[in-house]
Amino acid sequence: MIPDVELVRDPSLQLIGEGRSAFVYRIQSTDKVVKIFFPSFTHLAKEEASIYQVLQGVRYYPELHETGPNYLVIDYIEGHTLFECLTKGIEITDKHTTEVDKALRLARAKGLNPSDIHLRNIMITTNDQIKLIDVARFRQSKECTQWDDLKVAFNRFYRLRFFPKKIPAFILNLIAALYKRNLLQTLTRTKRD
């Protein structure tokens, strides 16, 4: 519970996501979501909105419809994150990884530096298109190798004929925790370097 904050449930909003800095609600009877940032992260609302403005018209990213001091309204993306695809056994193909590469190249061509690209920020839509969400860190100066490392794992393990295509969430979360602690470098970097 956040001190001095009164929470009111609005029946027109359906909670569909929660991250480190915000809640995401689908606005009922629309194809839009509102991302409401926690009080200590309101600065990210302006940052993410400005990045979505740069990406307007790039089909791999949601369109920005409205912004405010602690929120933004973007397209609702119907589909599954790559994390959900792995836990449900929905196939991730070479076409999907190629499309993610293209989305990141287009962002770089607009002067951005895509960062924080992981399984929960990449979606496969119901019509088999790729969408990237949560672009707040696309202006960081440090190099982010997360997507390159995911591609190495995809090519080295997931594409193997007998590798399981359905993976329990706790295993994926364990892998993510080990990755964050740099304990998987030999698995991801050896193939790339």
Q: Given the residues 31, 116, 148, 149, select the one marked as catalytic.
A: 116
C-alpha span between 11 and 168 (Å, rounded): 32
N-term to C-term CA, the chain: 46
Q: Could you give the 3-state DSSP secondary structure of residue 70?
A: coil
Q: Could you give the 3-state DSSP secondary structure of residue 59?
A: coil
Of 143, 157, 142, 166, the closest CA to residue 188 belongs to 157
Residues 6+ apart with CB under 8 A from 181: none
Cβ–Cβ < 8 Å for 70, 45: yes
Active site residue 193: no
- Please count the residues of the chain: 193
Active-site residue list: 116
